[in-house]
Amino acid sequence: MMDLLARKVGRVGHITFNRPAALNALSHPMSLTLESALDDWREDEEVQLILIDAEGPRAFCAGGDIAAVYHAGKAGDYSVGRDFWRDEYRMNAKIAEYPKPVVALMQGFVMGGGVGVGGHASHRVVGETTQIAMPESGIGLIPDVGGSLVLGRAPGHVGEYLGVTGARIGAADAIYAGFADAFVPEADWPALKGRLIETADPAQINRTPAPDARLPGLQAEIDAAFSAPTLAEIVARLTASGTAFAADCLKAIARNSPLSMAATIDLVRGARKLASIRDALDHEFRFTWRACETGDFLEGVRAQIIDKDRQPRWRHAGIEALDAAEVARMLEPLGREAAIWE
């Protein structure tokens, strides 16, 4: 069975994640297959719209399949991860820049690599089960796949909040934060797919109000804490506020990699000054290129995915042990050997 299906149906190029048992985790071969389909259909006059969906109710795509990256990295081979991320980022950019409408129907978990696919479509549809997150700081990475750009464009300092804590958000908040465009009840998705295939017209997406938005009511509190200039000062403000929201944030921060969280803040804030997704991906690659060798990634994956003991031993015992120079080194420009676009 193919993990990713790519076929032409009528005037639509139809791509389907087909690993429901693995929450449709995106592997390197899947990423290359997706990119190849986009390349094939770019100049194909028979294809007027791209439709991306997923099998199974639990996830559109819950992230990247990073087990191979971990095992290679533990053996001292960092090229497996670097090649995966380079190819994935190139595919992410092609979705964002695609000259034809791209419709993504995102149910269930949409995390990490799933955001890199669905979050850059021109028409992003969510439903009742949608749970979007960029939880990479919990495995010693940063919000990548162009996620730093989406976070940087979120209202106020919502981007820092979501990137540092990895908090999950539902459909209404996904629209508010800029990860999605339209809420459509999932019972209506089969009919919507049929209309899209028949007409190749994204105007067939009938939006309805999404329920239960939380972020607008938290905006002032988020801005008060996450506008602080450093991670340590964000923690200090959250500690001083003493609210239930602040307590939840502090629990998440205590679990995550200090190095990753500090770099996330720099990337999200830097993304606000960037003009394109390619610029954001270049900046993210600076960190992911180094993640296995000098970051917390291997330890984070061990603790969360391999051994599942949920007890990562980060390079820094706490935020107070973090040196700003170390964060800067993780984000230094790379040489030509790390070019994505050549």
Rounded Cα gap, residues 337 and 342, in angstroms: 10
Distances (CA, A) of 42 to 264, 270, 303: 33, 31, 41
Rounded Cα gap, residues 217 and 92, in angstroms: 32
Is residue 64 annotated as part of the catalytic site, yes or no?
yes
Check 53, 65, 144, 266 and give the catalytic one.
144
Rounded Cα gap, residues 151 and 160, in angstroms: 7
Q: What is the DSSP string of 259-328?
A: HHHHHHHHHHHHHTT--SHHHHHHHHHHHHHHHHHHSSHHHHHIIIIIS-------SSSSGGG--HHHHH
Check 136, 173, 181, 282 and give the catalytic one.
136
Q: What is the DSSP string of 286-302?
A: HHHHHHHHHSSHHHHHI
Torsion of CA 175, 20, 82, 41, to 10 degrees: -70
Q: Which residues pair with 169 in a beta bridge?
A: 132
Pairing of β 49-54 and β 12-17: parallel
Distances (CA, A) of 222 to 26, 29, 164, 228: 31, 39, 12, 10
Check 63, 64, 73, 147 and give the catalytic one.
64
Rounded Cα gap, residues 88 and 130, in angstroms: 23
Which residues, other chains included, contact 281 with Cβ-Cβ below 8 Å and sequence gap of 6+? 89, 92, 93, 144, 145, 146, 340
Longest dimension (CA), the chain: 59
Cβ atoms of 328 and 286 within 8 Å: the answer is no
Cβ atoms of 116 and 92 within 8 Å: the answer is yes
Q: Which of 71, 74, 79, 89 is nearest to 26 (CA)?
A: 89
Check 81, 113, 119, 152 and give the catalytic one.
113
Is residue 35 annotated as part of the catalytic site, yes or no?
no
Is residue 76 annotated as part of the catalytic site, yes or no?
no
Active site residues: 64, 113, 136, 144
